[in-house]
């Protein structure tokens, strides 16, 4: 595993006040990140749960178009409750989330320490975001920042698109990948005349573990030419893998950090999540030039190993600083972590042809 230049727990749930006195913040993690002005801007996923508890019931908050945030109280005996993230109905198999997520803008002059927590909030809206919005990725294309995010509703897990030039106001472009699809990251420029995205289809029938695909678009809205990029046949030990940080252009190719999880046994709730590096061809990003054979970042720090869902490092943002890269990630589904690597060391760690 590569040596980290530093590691810092940047944002914790206690840093951000809840949206109301009926809710509590239980997670601040999986941030989108981008260079902005003289510093770094983060779009942090904030997770809230109701303060109230009721004996024999489990809470599941959602957005109601007329009432705002409401909480449904579900009979505990009707649901599997082992997973702290979701509830699964014992008879129907239908799922509900145990929390509600939204996004918050946080600026950092040095890329390591938040300046303050007064930035705007992007709240869930409409029938496709009833259970919240999650896991943003930020890609700058020309002078506009495009943000992909996960939209969760009774219809399933889909991917939406936002854009901004100032991180003060945002334009919504609607869904760009229908359920079930997530972990969508955009390339920072057109490749051979098309916009390019990585995405992860996740069907309800598990023929094989969820895997990473590549798609092309003329306008960032309509996507097609879907091609498998990294699947179970190339990553047989992974329980799942998917896009992590948006790719950055280097002389050698498109460099990106992706995530994968491994379960020690089938009873594990989520397994261990780690970050791996991959290099894609500049002109044909469907061609993998090299990959990590071991994690470049895996849970080792206390705040990565213990938390809301311990043993999780989930990379979602990357920012270049001189000869280094800053990697922003969710730690234990609870905190925002930031670490750094030498760009050359990261590239040198890849095994060609793997």
Structure-block tokens of residue 253: 């190719």
pLDDT digits (tens, 9 = 90+) for 243-292: 999 999 999 999 999 998 876 665 566 688 999 999 999 999 999 999 99
Per-residue H/E/C for 301-326: CHHHHCCCCCCEEEEEEEEEECCEEE
DSSP string across 6-40: EEEEEE-GGGS--SSTTEEEEEEEEEEEEEETTEE
Q: How many CB atoms lie within 10 A of CB 229?
A: 23
The 10s digit of each residue's pLDDT in 13-36 is 999 999 999 999 999 999 999 999
- The Cβ-side half-sphere exposure at 217, using a 13 Å CA radius, reads 18
pLDDT value of residue 234: 60
Which value, in Å, is the radius of gyration of the alpha carbons in the chain?
Answer: 19
Tokens standing for residue 136: 């943003």
Whole-structure pTM value = 0.95
Dihedrals φ, ψ of 343, to 5°?
Answer: -60, -45
Which pLDDT belongs to residue 334? 97
Burial class (CB in 10 A: 0-12, 13-18, 19+), 279: buried
Whether residue 74 lies inside any domain: the answer is yes
What's the domain range around 288?
6-352
From start to end of 240-302, where are the E strands? 240-243, 248-249, 254-262, 272-280, 288-291
Note whether residue 61 is domain-resident: yes
* pLDDT tens digits, 52-81: 999 999 999 999 998 999 999 999 999 999
Long-range contacts: 147-154, Cβ < 8 Å, 24+? 147/32, 147/43, 148/176, 148/184, 148/185, 148/186, 148/197, 149/32, 149/103, 150/182, 151/124, 151/175, 152/97, 152/101, 153/127, 153/128, 153/129, 154/130
- pLDDT at res. 161: 98
The pLDDT value recorded for residue 211 is 86
Q: How far apart, in whole angstroms, are the C-alpha atoms of residue 305 and residue 7?
A: 14
| Higher pLDDT among residues 267 and 130, named by residue | 130
Query: Angle CA(145)–CA(147)–CA(153) in degrees, nearest 5?
Result: 160
Domain count, the chain: 1
Instruction: Say if 1 falls within a structural domain.
Output: no
| Residue 157 forms part of a structural domain | yes
Neighbours of 103 (CB within 10 A): 27
Residue 317, domain member (yes or no): yes
Tens of pLDDT, residues 203-242: 666 666 778 999 999 999 999 999 999 876 565 556 677 8
Task: Please state, for a pLDDT cut of 70, what percent of the chain lies above it.
Answer: 93
Query: In whole angstroms, what is the distance from residue 262 CA to residue 239 CA?
Result: 5
pLDDT beyond 70 at 320: yes
Q: CATH code at 169?
A: 2.115.10.20
CB atoms within 10 A of CB 261: 20
């Amino acid at each position: 595993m590569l040596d980290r230049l530093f590691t810092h727990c940047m944002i914790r749930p206690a840093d951000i006040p809840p949206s109301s006195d009926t809710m509590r913040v239980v997670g601040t993690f999986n941030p989108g990140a981008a260079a902005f002005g003289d510093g770094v801007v983060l779009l942090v996923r904030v997770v809230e749960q109701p303060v109230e508890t009721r004996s024999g019931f489990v809470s599941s908050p959602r957005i109601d178009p007329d009432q705002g945030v409401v909480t449904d109280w579900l009979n505990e005996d009707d649901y599997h409750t082992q997973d702290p993230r979701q509830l699964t109905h014992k008879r129907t198999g239908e799922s509900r989330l145990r929390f509600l997520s939204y996004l918050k803008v946080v600026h950092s002059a040095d890329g390591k320490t938040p300046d303050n927590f007064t930035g705007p909030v992007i709240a869930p809206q409409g029938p496709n975001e009833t259970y919240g919005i999650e896991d943003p990725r930020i890609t700058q294309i020309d002078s506009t920042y495009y943000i992909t995010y996960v939209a969760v509703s009774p219809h399933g897990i889909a991917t939406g698109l936002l854009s901004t030039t100032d991180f003060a106001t945002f334009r919504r472009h609607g869904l760009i990948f229908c359920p079930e699809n997530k972990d969508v990251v955009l390339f920072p420029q057109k490749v051979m005349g098309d916009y390019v995205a990585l995405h992860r289809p996740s069907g309800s029938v598990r023929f094989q573990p969820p895997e990473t695909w590549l798609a092309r678009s003329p306008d960032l809205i309509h996507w097609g030419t879907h091609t498998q990029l990294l699947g179970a046949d190339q990553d047989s030990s992974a329980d799942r893998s998917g896009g992590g940080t948006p790719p950055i252009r280097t002389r050698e190719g498109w460099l990106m950090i992706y995530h994968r999880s491994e379960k020690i046994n089938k009873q594990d709730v989520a397994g261990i999540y780690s970050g791996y590096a991959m290099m894609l061809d500049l002109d044909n990003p469907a061609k993998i030039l090299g990959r990590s054979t071991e994690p470049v970042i895996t849970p080792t720090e206390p705040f990565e190993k213990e938390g809301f869902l311990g043993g999780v490092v989930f990379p979602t943002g990357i920012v270049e600083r001189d000869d280094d890269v800053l990697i922003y990630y969710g730690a234990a589904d609870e905190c925002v972590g930031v670490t750094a690597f030498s760009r050359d060391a990261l590239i040198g760690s890849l095994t060609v042809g793997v």
